Each structure stands twice: as C-alpha cells, then as structure tokens.
Amino acid sequence: MPSSPLVQLNDVAVRYGRVPVLNSVELEVPAGEATGIVGPNGSGKSTLLRVLATLLRPTEGRVSVFGTEMGRETAFSIRRRIALIGHQPALYPQLTLRENLVFVSRLSGHSEERVDEMLDLVGLAGAKHRRAEQSSHGMQRRVEFARVILTKPDLLLLDEAHAGLDREAGQLVDAVVENVRSRGGAAVFVSHELDRMLPLVQSTYELVGGAVIPGGSR
Amino acid sequence: MTGPSFWGQAYEIGRKDMRVEGRSGEVLNITIPFGAVALLLIPLAIGIDRPLIASVGPGMFWVVTLLFGMLVTFRHSATETVANREMMVLLGMDPAAQFVGRVSASFLLLLVFEGVLAPLTIVLYNPDPVSGWPVLLVVLLLMAIGLALIGTLASGITSGLRSRNTLAPLLVAPLSLPLLVGASQTYEALSQESSILTPILLLVAVVLGLAVVGVLTARFLEEASR
C-alpha cells in the first residue's frame, strides 16, 4: 500500500524574472521513502530542492509539506522539521567543527553533550577542534551529516550528496538517509548522476525542460 | 524539541559573532589600526594650527567612528553565506532574534573601537576640556548602539542583492546623519555649557526608532533576501 505523501507539489512553476526554471511540476514525496531526482546541470534541481525546503516560494502552484499548505506563517512553523544539505557546507569557517555543531545544537534545543557523540559517529572525533576553514570538503560534509543525525529532521533534502566524498563518507550518506526513513521521514536526492543514488531510492524522477517526469518506482 | 527563547537565540548569535571576530581579528587587527591612521593623518593635513586641530578633533572622531564603525557592522554580510542563512531559517531561528544578536555583537565591537580611538583623539587633537564627561560616555554608548543598528539594518536590507556593497554605504549615510548631528551637538553644548537635552533626546529617539524598525522588519527582510 502506498504511504501518504509527506510533501506534495501541484502545478508548481518558478521563474527568475522572465526566465522559467520549473514548469507545472507535480511531485509527491511519500513518508518513509527516499526519492531521487536526476537532471543535467542547470535543469532546476537545486531550485526544486529549495521549494521543497520552503526556502523559495514558487511563482505559481501549491506546495504542501507535512499536510500543511505553505504560506508565509505556516512555512515558519514547520521548517525545524526540514534539513537541507546543499552544494556549499553551512559552516562558519572560523569556528571549529565542534563549535559549529554546538552552535546548531544550542539553537535547535538539543543537548550539547550529544555533539561529541555525533562527531564520533561521523568519524571526526580526532579532528573536532580543527577549524572548518582548515578542514577538507569531505570533513565539512561529515559535520553536516552529524547535524542531520543530531536534529532528526522528518524531511531530508540532499543536493549532490555524494559529490567529492570518499567511500566511507558515501556510506555515511546511506546511513543518514536510512535513519530518516526508519523514523517515518522522507529523503529527496537531486543529482546529475543516477548511479550513486539508485541503490538508496524507492522512486526516481527526471527533470526535463523544467518539468518532473516520473522515472518509475523500484 | 523546542529551541531556546528569543533572548536565548539572540545570545547564541551574538556569541557566535564575537567568536568569529575573535578568530578573524578583523576589528582589532584591521579596522582599529586604519581608524587610528585616519585620525593621525588629519592633523598632519591641517598643519600646525593647534587651535584649529583642537576644535575639529571631536568632529573628526565622530566621522571616523561612523565610517569605520560601518565596516565593523558590514562584516556580517561577508561572513554569512547563503548556506548559513538558509540553515538558520531551517533551524527555526526568529529573524528578529538574529537581528538583536548581531546588533549586540556589533555594539560590543564598536565600544572597543571607540574605547581605543577616543583616548587617541584626546592625545592627537588635545580638544578643549569640557565639564560633564559622563555625558560623553553616554553619547559614546548611544553612538555605538545606533551605528550597530544602522549597519545591521542596512546589511539586512541589501542582503541577497548583487549591488549590496554599493547600496549599503549609500543607505547608511542618510540614516547616520541624525546620530552625527546629535553626537557633535552634545559636545558643542557641553563646551558652551548650554542644555544638552535636545541632542541627547535626538540620539535616544534615533536609537529607539531604529531598534523598533529593525525588530519589526527582520522577518520581512529575511524572507525578501531569499
């Protein structure tokens, strides 16, 4: 039996000025599943992810997240349940990896004591006092995964999640997604490469000409 | 899981900003020395006219504080990336709390800035001594909080714009004029032993007005910047 959609997009269009990016997008993200969206560079994948994250209001159409139709006020109240891992790590370069995570834990109301546990979990126990600006891209990504495990989002959005990661860190992505799914949440991957995310997703879509075309359920 | 209160969020933002500044040392190592150099160059440009130097000293201090103080507050827009801003949104941060936190951090940094440059101004310009120096301390506080509010507000308004580096200083100029007038007129009133009530009230009114506008528009500006 198909699960109820956690996110639903109906006839969504996004234009930047006169430039259309997304057209008539229809998309359902079921609870407990991972969805993969593939498309070439510049096809609007990141824009779609920002709409799903409620960070970008579409020019047209309706967006429903966790059963609530998005408006300015409603978006504000549900955003804590969403996590986005984008191209650029959301870290402060001058702070250490640990300090970055402590900052997030305090703002999200989680215990600071769990921070060390999370850093240990993502394999950064030995590098936690290193500044973000002195850490590799892969290490910065690991901190982002630690943030996701710490904040326990119900909707996880990943933009090119496996880009620049070694095998071990790649397995971390898999574990994080599995963790979200097992709690009844959902994950959405966008990537220009289908191969790496294919083993993780239950349904795939393709972004063509700004529209989302179902690629079938697995 | 509920997050911290409004003031708790503001505290965390302020603390983070201070820590970032502590590591980058932009204010201590770059802005303050440049401000000091500016104060040093002006008497050299004026020449050896000691009475003139003494009379322009306080005004020069306010101008240098205003111009270099803006650099202190604008540093936020440089340290906050799009990814950082979006993460804050998804953490459910109240934009007004972010505003208060940033203003607080800038205020503290501006106090340090003023604390170094004010004695330097006295040494370099030897301005006429005035009675009522505690009033000048209050003016320093009001100027610091006013500049912190203006700079943070201007950063918020221009955040996300491509031309923000040009627009922000243009926005600051008219907004900071009442502060400059209030601060310099307070010193003048003290030196002439006339009433300081009007300029002090002007400073207080500007600070309160900016604080209210900043807090009330924070959410709108945050949404508009994305």
Instruction: Provide the token pair at B144.
Output: 């610091």
- Note whether A108 contacts B92, CB cutoff 8 Å: yes
Tokens of A198: 């294919």
Give me the residue spans of the domains in chain B: 6-224
**What is the distance between the alpha carbons of residues B140 and B34, in angstroms, rounded to a whole number?**
19
Query: Which site among B16, B88, B162 would you substitute to test the A interface, given the most A Cβ atoms closer than 10 Å to its Cβ?
Result: B16
What is the mean predicted confidence (pLDDT) over A171-180? 89
Contact: A82, B90; criterion CB under 8 Å: yes
The residue of chain A nearest to residue B81, with distances taken between CA atoms, is: A90
Q: What is d(CA A83, CA A77) in angstroms, rounded to the nearest whole number? A: 14
B3, B19, B219 ranked by CB distance to A108: nearest: B3
Q: Residue B81, Cβ neighbours under 10 Å: how many?
A: 15
Spatial CB neighbours of A202, under 8 Å, sequence gap ≥ 6: A30, A33, A34, A35, A217, A218
Q: Is residue A139 part of a domain?
A: no
A76 inside 8 A of chain B by CB: yes
Tokens representing residue B45 in the block: 């440009």
User: What secondary structure letter does DSSP report for A58?
Assistant: -
**Structural domain count of chain A:** 1
Q: Output the tens digit of pLDDT for each of chain B's 226 residues.
A: 677 899 999 999 999 999 999 998 888 889 999 999 999 998 888 887 888 888 888 899 999 999 988 888 887 666 788 899 999 999 989 999 999 999 999 999 999 999 999 999 999 998 887 777 889 999 999 999 999 999 999 888 887 777 777 778 788 888 899 999 999 999 889 988 889 999 999 999 999 999 999 999 998 888 877 7
- Residues of chain B with C-beta less than 8 angstroms from the C-beta of A91: 84
Range of the domain at A178: 5-92+156-217
Angle at A25 between CA A23 and CA A27, to 5 degrees: 170
> CB–CB of B90 and A103 under 8 A?
no
B141-191: pLDDT as tens digits:
999 999 999 999 988 888 777 777 777 878 888 889 999 999 999 988 998
Would you say residue A128 lies in a domain? no
Residue A109 domain-assigned?
no
Q: Whats the size of chain B, residue-wise?
A: 226
Task: Select from B3, B23, B83 the Cβ nearest to the Cβ of A86.
Answer: B83
Burial of residue B129 (CB within 10 Å: 0-12, 13-18, 19+) is: exposed
